Structure 1
Amino acid sequence: MAIQKQFLSKPFAGYLNGPIPEENAELTHVEKGSPGGELLRRYWQPVALTCEVTDVPLGVRMFGEDLVVFRNTSGEYGILDRHCPHRGTSLEFGLPTECGLRCCYHGWLFGMDGKVLETPGDPPGSTLKDRLYHGAYPAREYKGLVFGYFGPVETMPDFPVYDSYEYPGDKLVPYSVSYPCNWLQVQENVMDPAHAVFLHTRVTFSHFSDTWGELPVMDFVETPTGMIYVTTRRWKDKVWVRSNDILMPNLAQVGHIWEDGQEAKQFGRVGITRWTTPIDNRTCKVIGWRHFHPEVDPRGIAREDQCGPGSVDFYGQGAGGSFEERQRLPGDYDAIVTQRPIAIHALEHLTYCDKGVVLFRKLLRRDIRRLATGEDIPLSRHRSNGLIPTYCHDTVLDLPPLEGVDDLELLEEVGRRVTEIVVEGDHHDGDDRLEAVRSKLLDYQRSLLPRAAE
């Protein structure tokens, strides 16, 4: 674990800075055999949008490996090592067949599992093909994304389906954005609610709404799938409790982007589901879905047409304009990628508002070391209607300041109790989990009304 650098204690002390330490390789490196890479490989990972995989193969890079994603003429998706094992020709120029992919150079045919099916340049009696496999990974399509499993096939888990994938009236629109930096610093941004106050609101302009500029009471809580942050803000006569959700190790869910805390609601659901997928140690891709349903876009601001390969419909999520324009109006992309290609943890000076980043790294380190010692990776045991519960939400309560009660203490109490309802209890295994959570939140709000009337 990196030792945190001490603050300099003299003016004009740049000369006193020491050499740049090494990155925290345990958490940041993703190549095969690296501790973090081995953990990430035990989960299904999205590799492409299905709209990117046409009638020709798509070259991709994951975990430092060059691959192709393709669709055979029967409609099945496959993932193969990019270079043909015969003479190294790129299978980006391969020809999809009914059962696999054929190399353009000498016609070798590879099945979906990598089995060499034909070596047509060899004599008719050749048994070479009967002994050979090419590198391949399991693939499947789900709601506009192509997923791969990159770990040992004998440890391949079931494909997890979370409740937010099947939300009533929702439309999941795939998108992706590439980042020229390590995956971890992109994922950590989800557990840094303080940056929304400053980067997204106070420093330049309100990217979402002015309400985000209110410094919230913050808490960070473990869940059966990972962790959430809990931010509790007052906005006039409302109290807004919001939680982003990290589902270990690299899946995250974010609520309504333009939430303003103005309208009462209970357990408003997910606006973004996204994985931070490692391309290699110094590049990654955010890939996932924007959710389009009335709860996350009551004002009609969302733009489905701006979501797709390389873009999403809110500010600061890619390179965008010129470098100078971004210097004047920076967004998430600029704040994240300029932490260096791989952020140096030993140079950070972490404070109270970084407790979420600290907890996320702790959980990641825990799972990495469990895997290394042969222990099982913790998975949620909860199911509601056969789906795994998630905990991202926006809840807005009608609750004016209470006379004689310290408002910060009230916000802490509200945030704590709302979080208990959202995360804990037997109702999370019931088929009516969504309705049960909302009912309990309404009951809690009613219990506060007599206090507000006193």
Structure 2
Amino acid sequence: DGAILDTPGEPATSTLKDRLCHGAYPVHEYNGIVFAYLGPPEQQPPFPIYDSFERPGYRVIPGRKYFYPCNWLQILENAMDPVHTAFLHTIVSGSQFTDEFGKVPELDFVETPVGMVYVATRRVGENVWARMVENVLPNLQQVAPIWEDGRREHPFDGPMMSRWIVPQDDTRTMFVEFRHVSEKENVVTPGWWADRSVMLPGQLPFSDSHEESQRHPGDYEAQVSQRPVAIHALEHLGATDRGVTMFRQQLRRGIRAVQSGDAPQGLSRKAGAVIPTYCNDTVVRVPAAPTPEEDRQLMRTTGRALAESYLKDPPSMKA
């Protein structure tokens, strides 16, 4: 509460500690991470409990804390660019995840009550693999498992990671993450993911050598190399950047809502409420359509139908 307990060096009769107080912020500990609320006291919302944190059969553990020397927004925008998983994480640098990520997916982008997901669908034999990665406004990112290969049919399986992209200032960002570890017999989480000393591939600089990092880039190189603050006026956004555009529009709406005295999208003031989220991999058997173009349309339709069904009936809390 900001009370000063002791003032070493002051005379025993000093009343300094009784007359002054430190600035203080309320904190909340959850699953091994301490969160601070820095906003107006009279507007403090309840700590948000997302359904992915309470999934039956999973435990949530703190992951690594690490830092990037760039603006927080370009990091979150990266999550809404699903094509980069094919080029950056597979084709250019070799398979940092699974080989199936090297197929450029069919794309869709869907707004949710708490933010948005991209829907990236790929064909793997007779299966359609729909991957949905999520931005929860304003700065929570949920990532589906990177060990997925689309070869085995399975329903909605939720995120492998929930991480907050926290701006320290305009040019420095802190990552704080939860890792989701399966304790189900039929859902295997790789052992390394439960070891918080092991990093997700591509998240830290590949090498101290600039040349080597250019030849084997990961997320760090892609995001930090945009400048400490990316200059949007220099961009040439393409068709695959629709998710970046949608996310920027959501942030602008949230800023304008706060400026007008309204609640931004995704804010819940209901204490104890479990908030639905939508990050997942789903693999369904859908035989290929007769032509490549028809099959691409079939994949997009399948992915959109899955996303809409999850919005209607969020599945994360189901056993």
TM-score by length of 1: 0.64
The one-letter amino acid paired with 1:254 is V
What secondary structure does 2:247 align onto? helix
Shift, 1:304, TM fit: 2.8
In 2, the alpha carbon distance for the partners of 1:248 and 1:299 equals 27
Match 1:389 to one of 276, 281, 293: 276
In 1, the alpha carbon distance for the partners of 2:128 and 2:71 equals 36
Counterpart of 1:205 in structure 2 is 94
1:178, 1:283 within 8 Å by CA — same for their partners in 2? yes
Is residue 228 from structure 1 mapped to residue 114 from structure 2 by the alignment? Answer: no
Counterpart of 2:204 in structure 1 is 318
Counterpart of 1:418 in structure 2 is 306
Counterpart of 1:354 in structure 2 is 241
Shift, 1:298, TM fit: 3.2
Shift, 1:173, TM fit: 2.7
Counterpart of 2:190 in structure 1 is 300
Match 2:166 to one of 257, 277, 282: 277
Structure 1: runs of 5+ lacking an equivalent: 1-112, 437-454
In 1, the alpha carbon distance for the partners of 2:200 and 2:250 equals 29
Higher relative contact order (CA closer than 8 Å, sequence separation 6+): 2
1:256, 1:297 within 8 Å by CA — same for their partners in 2? no
In 1, the alpha carbon distance for the partners of 2:98 and 2:263 equals 43
Shift, 1:168, TM fit: 2.1
The one-letter amino acid paired with 2:108 is D
Is residue 157 from structure 1 mapped to residue 45 from structure 2 by the alignment? Answer: yes
Q: CA RMSD in A?
A: 2.4
2:46, 2:268 within 8 Å by CA — same for their partners in 1? no
What secondary structure does 1:245 align onto? strand
In 1, the alpha carbon distance for the partners of 2:187 and 2:66 equals 21
In 2, the alpha carbon distance for the partners of 1:195 and 1:274 equals 19
Which stretch has the larger CA shift, 138-147 or 254-263? 138-147
1:382, 1:389 within 8 Å by CA — same for their partners in 2? no
Identity among equivalent pairs (%): 46
What secondary structure does 1:198 align onto? helix
1:336-375 counterparts in 2 under 5 A? 336-375=223-262
TM-score by length of 2: 0.90
Structure number with greater Rg is: 1
Counterpart of 1:255 in structure 2 is 144
In 2, the alpha carbon distance for the partners of 1:353 and 1:136 equals 44
Shift, 1:336, TM fit: 0.6
Number of residues paired by the alignment? 313
1:23-53, Cα deviation, whole Å (9 max, x unpaired)? xxxxxxxxxxxxxxxxxxxxxxxxxxxxxxx
Structure 2: runs of 5+ lacking an equivalent: none
1:237-275, Cα deviation, whole Å (9 max, x unpaired)? 110111111110000100111111010011011101000
Is residue 142 from structure 1 mapped to residue 30 from structure 2 by the alignment? Answer: yes
Shift, 1:382, TM fit: 11
Shift, 1:403, TM fit: 3.8
Which stretch has the larger CA shift, 312-321 or 391-400? 312-321
Counterpart of 1:238 in structure 2 is 127
Shift, 1:232, TM fit: 1.2
Shift, 1:155, TM fit: 1.1
Shift, 1:129, TM fit: 3.7
Shift, 1:399, TM fit: 1.3
1:274–1:293 CA distance, 2 compared to 1 (3 A)? same
2:115, 2:265 within 8 Å by CA — same for their partners in 1? no
